[in-house]
């Protein structure tokens, strides 16, 4: 599983690098390299940890089953990928090729902190939730149940909450104010998906209502 993770992650990062630096029009982009380096180090470390502690979860995240789950969600991941690539190109255009934005270096370091925080929240969620597959589906063969501990005792969807820090951190680290457009767009997409996911969970698990009554906030403590 470790070898498969390394190969798949490497192929993705090569693709991300091509998209970013073709968009930038140059390889001379220190912030672009810093972004890729941080993402690679954190992703490989998290993947290696999952390979040891929860290979079943790692497998579910490496090999996405796009035809499973509710029909509206089957188009979510295929649609999200080109949007993500377009976002990378926009940030490369903004921060490097055309230099529309100027993000101070200190703010870029804050972006790196936000990305690390996103990854830390993901690890915390994976520690408690072995059923956190990318696609919406009930894993009956693995006796899936409602997770109520750890970060799931704070918000009902901690992985999505962590993504907010990524939507903030990536543009700041790359140096693109225009990249922050993904924050409201991404949160709207997450809100839509949360609705689909909770509908599925309520149908599958009668005790989900009790959990939702106890943990009132879906994404942001004190807000929603």
pLDDT in tens, 116-147: 999 999 999 999 999 988 888 878 788 888 99
The percent of residues above 70 in pLDDT, for the chain, comes to 96
- Flag whether 63 is in a domain: yes
Q: Which domain holds residue 147?
A: 2-214
Please give the biggest Cα pair distance in the chain. 55
pTM for the complete prediction?
A: 0.92
- Flag whether 22 is in a domain: yes
Torsion of CA 62, 175, 119, 71, to 10 degrees: -50
Per-residue model confidence as pLDDT tens digits over 172-209: 999 999 999 999 999 999 999 999 999 999 998 989 99
**Given this model, what pLDDT does residue 33 score?**
97
**Given this model, what pLDDT does residue 217 score?**
96
Q: How many domains does the chain have?
A: 1
- Flag whether 223 is in a domain: no
- Flag whether 219 is in a domain: no
- Flag whether 86 is in a domain: yes
- Flag whether 119 is in a domain: yes
CB 169 within 8 A of CB 146: no
Whole-angstrom Cα distance, residue 216 to residue 149? 14
How would residue 17 be classed by pLDDT, with cut points 50, 70 and 90? Answer: very high
Q: Which CATH number characterizes residue 90's domain?
A: 1.20.120
Closest CA to 45 of 58, 33, 34, 35: 58
- Flag whether 169 is in a domain: yes
Whole-angstrom Cα distance, residue 14 to residue 79? 20
- Flag whether 75 is in a domain: yes
Computed over every residue of the chain, the mean pLDDT equals 91
Q: What are the Cα distances from residue 141, in Å, to 47, 131, 132?
A: 23, 11, 14
């Amino acid at each position: 599983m470790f070898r498969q993770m390394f190969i798949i992650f490497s192929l993705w990062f090569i693709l991300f690098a091509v998209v970013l630096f073709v968009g930038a029009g140059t390889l001379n982009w220190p912030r672009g390299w810093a972004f890729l380096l941080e993402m690679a180090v954190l992703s490989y470390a998290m993947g290696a940890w999952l390979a040891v502690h929860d290979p079943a979860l790692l497998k579910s995240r490496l090999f996405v089953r796009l035809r499973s789950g509710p029909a509206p969600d089957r188009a979510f991941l295929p649609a999200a990928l080109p949007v993500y690539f377009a976002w990378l190109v926009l940030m490369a255009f903004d921060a490097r090729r055309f230099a529309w934005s100027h993000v101070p270096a200190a703010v870029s370091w804050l972006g790196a902190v936000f990305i690390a925080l996103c990854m830390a929240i993901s690890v915390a969620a994976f520690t408690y939730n072995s059923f956190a597959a990318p696609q919406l589906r009930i894993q009956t063969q693995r006796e899936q149940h409602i997770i109520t501990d750890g970060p799931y005792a704070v918000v009902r969807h901690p992985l999505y909450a962590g993504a907010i820090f990524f939507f903030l951190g990536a543009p700041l680290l790359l140096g693109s104010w225009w990249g922050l457009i993904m924050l409201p767009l991404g949160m709207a997409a997450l809100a839509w998906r949360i609705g689909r996911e909770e509908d599925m969970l309520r149908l599958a698990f009668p005790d989900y209502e009790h959990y939702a009554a106890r943990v009132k906030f879906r994404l942001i403590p004190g807000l929603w």
